[in-house]
Structure 1
Amino acid sequence: MISKLLYLAQHIWRTLWVRVVLISVFSLLALAIAPLLTPFIPENIRLQLGREAVLPVLTILASGMLAVTTFSLNVMVSAYRAASSMATPRAYRLLLDDTITQSVLATFVGGFVYSLSAVILFHAKVYSEDAAVVVFAFTMVVVTLIVLAILRWIDHLSHLGSMDHTLQIIEKRARESMHARARRPSLGARRMLDDDVVPDTAGSICSRKSGYVRFIDVARLNELAEDTDSQVFVTSVPGEFVLRGSVIGTLSRSDAELRSRAARAFDIGDVRTFEQDPTLGLTILAETGQRALSPGINDPGTAIEVLGRIERLLWEEVPNEPQSETDYTPTFARVSLPVVRARTLLDCAVLPISRDGADNPDVTQRIYELLSRISAHPNSAMAKAAADIRDQLGSR
């Protein structure tokens, strides 16, 4: 269970500019320590490799990397826009988290910053002739990294922005989210049961802003509850849209300061995230299927492929049978949180496609097959939900 601070750090790390800045800083640090390493270079090598040997290479890198970076950015933006128009706009955010693209572009920018800075330092006579040997060695390392990045980029471009690649990324993130939630159905907290009763003296935890609940720091809530000998009941789960001032949880004691501190354990933003929301990936897959069935695209084959991926996720990532309350030991016993119900997963994954594909016999048949097979799921709740939806759609 990660803390809110680590959750925010992970999101920052997935942004493109962070990797670009870090690699650029490392390249500048390499240039800064180059004069300090000069005494360790043998004298015969210093005489053979002077500034005349390294300056032409640095000049080529400085001019070439700027062009390569600009071209790569144009390709990235075009591919992402094409993917979002074919699939769903929500897929664009997933593609922005592509670590391969981020690392390649960061390498190109870092190479440009390194070479341009080195050329400036040489012409400003900051570097001596002896320092040119160290810079030459660093330059060979940079050239090797750039060549490897170009090869990696060429391979990545062969499928970047394609429907297959986009669906693969969506399914991968959905699988990770569902797998994590299957291991911790209530995020490590005590499962909130239907018959749980909140004491009358409970204090409401109110949302600090309007938006989607993206992350709940359950460990922090449990710590606050232990310090004050209270219980926390979370009522708004990740993925739910809340308004500022609305109740997102309750405390077993009324304390204004405690309620304010508990509200800060909820991260609320404009868009949903995958970390604690297993329904988001299924929703994006369903939206992709809906887009394929729109009159402007009319591609039922993609919708059928999406249904196959949804079926695979529901079969493989929903646990066979949830632990009973007697077998389940919560990590954070002072916090109660609802589990994600099987019907919720099916509703967000299957029903949108069934509505838009009602006039297509192939899609309708594929949905019926999906529900029939899932109705034999080892998880009794998932099996019952699938059978109920199948009967519901069949009665239309």
Structure 2
Amino acid sequence: MSTQEPGVRRPPRRRRPPALSPLREHLRDTFWFAPAAGLVGVLLLWWAAAELDAAIVAAFQERREYEALGELVGLADDAKTIITTVSSAMMTFIGVVFSISLVAVQMASGQLSPRVVRIFVRSRITKLTLAVFLATFVLSLLVLAAYDGEPDPRKVTAVPLVQSVLTMAMVALSLVLFIAYVNSTLRLMRVSHVMDRISRESLALLKAQERDREEEVVLGPETARLTYEGRAGALRDVYIARLVRVARRRGAVLRLIPRIGDFVLPGTPVIAVHGGAEVTRKAVRRTVSVGVERTFHQDLGFGLRQLADIALRALSPAVNDPTTAVQALDRIVQFLAVAVNLPLGALRHRDGQGRVRLVQDVPSWTDLVDLGLTEIRGVVAGNPQVSRRMMAGIDDLLSLAPPGRREVLERHRALLVEVVERTVPDAADREFALTADRQGIG
């Protein structure tokens, strides 16, 4: 896109993307970061508690309050029994608890879609529970090692009283998190809650992607193309803040050629440069993230892809669960109803002065409707509950859509009627299957 001419009113300044946004999202897709951070945190916490215990012992000995110090030694010895029990049982408890996660993931992958497994991986309560459990186990070992076994208060060097209290507090926190974890896991094993989670993340991304309502700015001449160098995979996201910064420094406009979610091969072009000084591959290194699967971070169509997959799996002969397909259609229609009046198309990311620096292609309204309805419509034969819900959803969207966005909905409505008329021989059954019903069949 061409830069803005002097004297032309600039559009409102957009909220700049967080500098660490891609890194934060990538860490959320891992299962190691939260436990590792928890272990580092508990080591620091134990060190502070050990220093406090040493200061307490030194203060009692300096004041020659040996009787009071002896009472503290007794309390610490009593707590040692509890900590020993905690230390021996915690790892077994961890193994039993997190076997629940593996069962839940296996059930969700088999009954819903393999793409919903990422919901369990990204679950904050699961990661927090694992981190606290491991931290409690490590802390109990450190506290046990801190006992010196000296009964004489005059010679004692360490009384891990604060450390013992801290360990018991961690045990209490572990029990609370265990209850919350079981509740969260049981919720995620229910298809309605999984689809609600997918829907909320999709709507959050839809609202977060700010788009210009103004007319398209004409792109200038293309001066270069930068190819992707790395292993093949799905384009997960791009580092928007860095690309905008590079384009501003070079006085250029960058255009992302593939769409987020596309499968990218080494040697294929990923960034087109328009105008400005030369932009080298080194300048945009590590701005394109490719992985083995798609993510929600910048992928607008991924939520609809998951909902459509759940509906297709539910309508397969092996599962035969049209009610689940109707629930998936509820969420698809909800997403499309929010998107129907939003400006869709290319995202134009601007620098601090309001100049366009990065153009990113995203699904259009037609793309979103086709993604949400096409495959489900193809398997509605013999499932009047699903065809009735789809008819009601299309009618609702037609009532909300502006004139320019009704054509694709009318096309899907006509194709739905055609599928039902071709596969349902009886006229009364056809009429029933094509009657709009938001619950499918009540």
TM bin, normalised by shorter chain, reads 0.7 to 0.9
Letter in 2 for 1:179: K
Indicate the residue corresponding to 1:322 in structure 2: 343
Once residues 95 and 37 of structure 1 are traced to their aligned partners in structure 2, the CA distance between those partners, rounded to angstroms, is: 39
- The verdict on how the C-alpha distance between 1:253 and 1:320 changes in structure 2, with shifts beyond 3 A counting, is closer
Q: Provide the secondary structure at the position in 2 that maps to 1:271.
A: coil
What is the deviation of 1:172?
2.3
What is the deviation of 1:8?
1.7
Once residues 80 and 315 of structure 2 are traced to their aligned partners in structure 1, the CA distance between those partners, rounded to angstroms, is: 57
- The verdict on how the C-alpha distance between 1:254 and 1:120 changes in structure 2, with shifts beyond 3 A counting, is same
* Higher deviation after alignment, 221-230 or 58-67: 221-230
Letter in 1 for 2:45: A
Q: 1:131 aligns with which of 129, 134, 159?
A: 159
- 2:236 counterpart of 1:214: yes
Is the Cα contact below 8 Å between 2:254 and 2:358 reproduced in 1? Answer: yes
What is the deviation of 1:229?
2.2
Once residues 149 and 323 of structure 1 are traced to their aligned partners in structure 2, the CA distance between those partners, rounded to angstroms, is: 41
- 2:411 counterpart of 1:374: no
The 5 A counterparts of 1:167-316 are 167-181=195-209, 184-185=210-211, 196=218, 198-199=220-221, 202-209=223-230, 210-253=232-275, 258-262=280-284, 264-316=286-338
Indicate the residue corresponding to 1:148 in structure 2: 176
After superposition, the C-alpha distances for 1:324-356 in whole angstroms (9 at most, x for unaligned) are: 99xx98855132333431111111111121112
* Higher deviation after alignment, 29-38 or 110-119: 29-38
What is the deviation of 1:95?
1.5
The 5 A counterparts of 1:115-126 are 115-122=140-147
Structure-2-length-normalised TM-score: 0.78
Once residues 293 and 192 of structure 1 are traced to their aligned partners in structure 2, the CA distance between those partners, rounded to angstroms, is: 41
Q: 1:21 aligns with which of 36, 43, 57?
A: 36
When Rg is computed on C-alpha atoms for both structures, the one with the higher figure is 2
- The verdict on how the C-alpha distance between 1:56 and 1:175 changes in structure 2, with shifts beyond 3 A counting, is same
After superposition, the C-alpha distances for 1:338-394 in whole angstroms (9 at most, x for unaligned) are: 343111111111112111223322212221211111112245554443223223433
Letter in 2 for 1:47: G
Once residues 180 and 128 of structure 1 are traced to their aligned partners in structure 2, the CA distance between those partners, rounded to angstroms, is: 60
- The verdict on how the C-alpha distance between 1:123 and 1:152 changes in structure 2, with shifts beyond 3 A counting, is farther
Is the Cα contact below 8 Å between 2:224 and 2:274 reproduced in 1? Answer: yes
The share of aligned pairs that are identical, in percent, is 23
Is the Cα contact below 8 Å between 2:308 and 2:376 reproduced in 1? Answer: yes
What is the deviation of 1:156?
2.7
After superposition, the C-alpha distances for 1:62-118 in whole angstroms (9 at most, x for unaligned) are: 122111100011111111110111100000112111111111121111111111222
Indicate the residue corresponding to 2:410 in structure 1: 387
What is the deviation of 1:27?
2.1
Structure-1-length-normalised TM-score: 0.86
Indicate the residue corresponding to 2:361 in structure 1: 338
Once residues 324 and 219 of structure 2 are traced to their aligned partners in structure 1, the CA distance between those partners, rounded to angstroms, is: 46
- The verdict on how the C-alpha distance between 1:367 and 1:124 changes in structure 2, with shifts beyond 3 A counting, is farther
Letter in 1 for 2:341: N
Is the Cα contact below 8 Å between 1:46 and 1:130 reproduced in 2? Answer: no
Once residues 323 and 63 of structure 1 are traced to their aligned partners in structure 2, the CA distance between those partners, rounded to angstroms, is: 57
- The verdict on how the C-alpha distance between 1:211 and 1:375 changes in structure 2, with shifts beyond 3 A counting, is same
Once residues 259 and 327 of structure 2 are traced to their aligned partners in structure 1, the CA distance between those partners, rounded to angstroms, is: 30
What is the deviation of 1:12?
1.3
Indicate the residue corresponding to 1:355 in structure 2: 378
Letter in 2 for 1:364: S
Indicate the residue corresponding to 1:113 in structure 2: 138
Q: Provide the secondary structure at the position in 2 that maps to 1:250.
A: strand
Is the Cα contact below 8 Å between 1:83 and 1:166 reproduced in 2? Answer: no
Once residues 50 and 286 of structure 2 are traced to their aligned partners in structure 1, the CA distance between those partners, rounded to angstroms, is: 48
- The verdict on how the C-alpha distance between 1:364 and 1:131 changes in structure 2, with shifts beyond 3 A counting, is same
Once residues 102 and 148 of structure 2 are traced to their aligned partners in structure 1, the CA distance between those partners, rounded to angstroms, is: 36
Once residues 356 and 336 of structure 1 are traced to their aligned partners in structure 2, the CA distance between those partners, rounded to angstroms, is: 37
Once residues 131 and 95 of structure 1 are traced to their aligned partners in structure 2, the CA distance between those partners, rounded to angstroms, is: 42
What is the deviation of 1:285?
0.6
Once residues 379 and 260 of structure 1 are traced to their aligned partners in structure 2, the CA distance between those partners, rounded to angstroms, is: 45
Q: Report the RMSD for the aligned CA atoms in angstroms.
A: 3.1
* Higher deviation after alignment, 23-32 or 89-98: 23-32
Is the Cα contact below 8 Å between 2:311 and 2:328 reproduced in 1? Answer: yes
- 2:87 counterpart of 1:59: no
Once residues 25 and 245 of structure 2 are traced to their aligned partners in structure 1, the CA distance between those partners, rounded to angstroms, is: 22
What is the deviation of 1:17?
1.9
Once residues 376 and 156 of structure 2 are traced to their aligned partners in structure 1, the CA distance between those partners, rounded to angstroms, is: 68
* Higher deviation after alignment, 213-222 or 299-308: 213-222
Is the Cα contact below 8 Å between 1:221 and 1:232 reproduced in 2? Answer: yes
Letter in 1 for 2:95: T
Q: Number of residues paired by the alignment?
A: 385
- 2:192 counterpart of 1:164: yes
Structure with higher helix content:
1
